[in-house]
Amino acid sequence: MAEQILLKNIDVPGLASFEVYRKLGGYSSVEKVLKDFTPDQVTSEVTKSGLRGRGGAGFPAGMKWGFIDKKTNNPRYFVCNFDESEPGTFKDRHIGQLNPHQLIEGMILGSYALGARNSYIYIRGELFYVLRIVEKAIEEAYKNGFLGENIKGSGYSLDLYCQPGAGAYICGEETALLESLEGKRGNPRIKPPFPAVVGLYGCPTVVNNVETIAALPWIINNGGEAYASIGIGNSKGTKLISACGHINKPGIYEIELGLPVEEFIYSDEYCGGIRYGHELKAVVAGGSSVPILPASLILKTATGEPRLMSYESLSEGGFVSGTMLGSGGFIVMDETTCIVKNLLTFAKFYHHESCGQCSPCREGTGWMEKILHRIESGHGTMKDIDLLVDISKHIEGNTICPLGDAAAWPVASAIRHFREEFEDHVKLQKCPF
Amino acid sequence: MPEKLDITEFNRETLDLVNKIIKRYPEGRQKSALLPVLHIAQAENQGWLSSETMEYVASLLEIQPIEVFEVASFYSMFNLQPVGNCVIEVCQTGPCMLKGSEEILAHFENRLGIKSGETTTDGKFTIKTVECLAACGNAPVIQVGTEYHENLTTQKADDLLEKWQAENKNSHTNPYL
């Protein structure tokens, strides 16, 4: 079993309480840092660890922190992106619900490194019951002197708050999240300037995902180099994979990056194979936005190498034969799955979630949904299939934020790898499934 | 349809909570409290945001009513029309679809005699389809108020409906409490 950095104590009863968490060594990284580390030393450990953003983009966390403008007299903010909404992804909820203090401990470390006096955890509104758990944990951290004025006599002060969203996938995009946190519509901002320069309330801000932040205490306790010794290539450390769909054991697994995909799907330690002994048909490996791959290409690369659960291996072959690790939302489909129908639900999702700022996305996502609906219900034409590809190309790269790309990639990849299935829908004038 | 109940103002306890939330942001940034306060206002106004409710929220946060409306109309959790006492939100996105969410939706629709987006004539139930609730490992999933119900089957759906009928379920409770 891989080193468990995030899920080690997840089954301990009462872990969400300060008392239990503290007994297991919780908050020791905060004591260590406040006593012995300058803020820049904390950043340096995170840079050394090679930790990459776990929300989906995989951007090196230490480098992101390094961009923060420390010369201004403006306040700086550290914000946690807990707007978990990427279809297939349900790992952050697990941390927030069962191990909120590890997230809070990470928030204190990040806030200290960046010099933030006020920090926020932005939680999707649907997860209000998790927000209440995190707020209770924050209250306990205050009571025990880990938040508030002059933490443990160090002279460092930090206030930490939870903020609910209200049902908008787009607020997982960091600039839309900041808009939302300012009480506005979640319209992404044009970058640059990046949040590290102009973020929350126009001040330097870093936004990190829950899983990224929850890994910080371990990195401080064990050192960045120890973290970097786990994993493979530029995929350092462990990653939470939330596995769902047609597998025997859906759930959240902490893997060492570099685990073979085949082992992840078929081993009893992880997904336990395909349900009812069915055949694997396809996988969406990193949340609904990433390209879908047929069984042959998810298990092995186009050159016949075993495919690994890592940033590099999953993207090997580019979009012709590869995909992305993304958020780690691993959606498995067996032989009974209609690719067109599954894609239709994603197209509907992106249409629903488009903020409407950019016309290629606002209009294009709706067109793709309509055309897919037409094909799935048996009224499509062969031209519709090419039209879908054409629309996806016109959306990709032509929008302010990556939602446009996220909507285009599933469509383009499904047609690339399963074109026959679309054609069957047209020929039969109905869904063959 | 449920009786139209426009809140004219929050009670003391709720106002204390709102003031506590406003203090979380820097001075002059009280607009940041808009989403949290709208959640509370919607719960207190039988699950929807009327113009009057939004105007009241605007006055509390010292912003223009249009600033409230443009936000309320953006986020899918805010209802701008009256809803039933118990709103059943059924996830329809890929991972739930793969595990039979269409059957669950059809079951609720048949049992209640309404379509998604509609409210029963007695005003007790509304069915709403929603996008991914981030609980895909336990699909299919529905949400009612701040509760998630996971690994749903038609049998579980029946049991829940029976329970909600018996207790006159109101899903519009202050999400902070």
- Average pLDDT, integer, range A255-266: 98
Which candidate from B31, B39, B175 shows the least CB-CB separation from A183?
Answer: B31
Which candidate from A125, A168, A246 shows the least CB-CB separation from B98?
Answer: A246
Nearest Cα to A206, choosing from A141, A113, A325, A134? A113
Instruction: Say whether pLDDT at A290 is over 90.
Output: yes
Residues of A in contact with B38 (CB under 8 A): 166
Q: How confident is the model at residue A406 (pLDDT cuts 50, 70, 90)?
A: very high
Q: Please give the sequence-ordered ranges of beta strands (E in DSSP) within A324-365, or none if there are none.
A: 329-334
Q: A284 near A292, Cβ under 8 Å?
A: yes
Pairing of strands A308-309, A235-236: unpaired
Instruction: Say whether pLDDT at A24 is over 50.
Output: yes
Same domain as B91, residue B61: no
Which candidate from A90, A125, A342 shows the least CB-CB separation from B137?
Answer: A90
Query: Residue A289 and residue A406: Cα distance in Å, rounded?
Result: 4
Domain count of chain B?
A: 2
Measured at the alpha carbon of residue A3, what is the angle toward residues A124 and A304, in degrees to the nearest 5? 90
B59 falls within a domain = yes
pLDDT (tens place) for every residue of chain B, 177 residues total: 444 455 668 999 999 999 999 999 999 999 999 999 999 999 999 999 999 999 999 999 999 999 999 999 999 999 999 999 999 999 999 999 999 999 999 999 999 999 999 999 999 999 999 999 999 999 999 999 999 999 999 999 999 999 999 999 999 999 999
Residue A274 DSSP code: B
Q: Do B131 and A353 touch (CB under 8 A)?
A: yes
Query: Residue B160 and residue A115: Cα distance in Å, rounded?
Result: 49
Same domain as B96, residue B146: yes
Same domain as B109, residue B41: no
**Coil, helix or strand for A430?**
coil
Q: Which fold has domain A339-428?
A: de novo design (two linked rop proteins) (1.20.1440)
- Average pLDDT, integer, range A72-79: 94
Instruction: Say whether pLDDT at A44 is over 80.
Output: yes
Identity of residue B169: K
B177 falls within a domain = no
pLDDT given at position B36: 98
Instruction: Say whether pLDDT at A157 is over 90.
Output: yes
Interface confidence (ipTM) of the complex:
0.95
Same domain as B162, residue B90: yes
Residues of B in contact with A242 (CB under 8 A): 136-137
Same domain as B108, residue B153: yes
Same domain as B93, residue B163: yes
Residue A60 DSSP code: B
pLDDT given at position A69: 83
Kindly report the nearest CA distance between residue A124 and chain B, in angstroms: 9
Residues of A in contact with B31 (CB under 8 A): 182-184
Sheet of A329-334, strand order: A251-256, A238-245, A329-334, A280-284, A292-294
Q: Which residues pair with B86 in a beta bridge?
A: B125
* Chain A with chain B: Cβ pairs closer than 8 A: 154
pLDDT given at position B64: 97
Domain boundaries, chain A: 18-228, 234-334, 339-428
Kindly report the nearest CA distance between residue B8 and chain A, in angstroms: 22
Q: For B39, which residue in chain A has the nearest alpha carbon?
A: A166
- Average pLDDT, integer, range A68-74: 87
CATH class of A18-228: alpha beta
CATH number of the structural domain spanning residue B122: 3.40.30.10
- Average pLDDT, integer, range A243-265: 98
Which candidate from A85, A125, A186 shows the least CB-CB separation from B132?
Answer: A85
Q: Of the residues B72, B97, B117, which one is the last residue of a structural domain?
A: B72
Check CB contact of B28 with chain A, cutoff 8 Å: no
B162 falls within a domain = yes
CA dist A37 → A29, A41, A69, A154, A208 (Å): 10, 6, 20, 11, 21
Q: Do A89 and B136 touch (CB under 8 A)?
A: yes
Check CB contact of B77 with chain A, cutoff 8 Å: yes
B65 falls within a domain = yes
Check CB contact of B87 with chain A, cutoff 8 Å: no
- Average pLDDT, integer, range A290-305: 98
pLDDT given at position B2: 43
Instruction: Say whether pLDDT at A107 is over 60.
Output: yes
Q: Share the mean pLDDT of chain A.
A: 97
pLDDT tens for residues A191-218? 999 999 999 999 999 999 999 999 999 9
Check CB contact of B129 with chain A, cutoff 8 Å: no
Q: Do B131 and A169 touch (CB under 8 A)?
A: yes
Confirm or reject CATH 3.10.20.600 for domain A234-334, answering yes or no: yes
Same domain as B54, residue B120: no
Q: Do B143 and A342 touch (CB under 8 A)?
A: no
pLDDT given at position B8: 67
CATH number of the structural domain spanning residue B55: 1.10.10
Q: How confident is the model at residue A230 (pLDDT cuts 50, 70, 90)?
A: very high
Query: Residue B155 and residue A395: Cα distance in Å, rounded?
Result: 43
Question: Which residue segment(s) compose the domain that B48 sits in?
Answer: 12-72
Nearest Cα to A330, choosing from A363, A366, A272, A285? A285
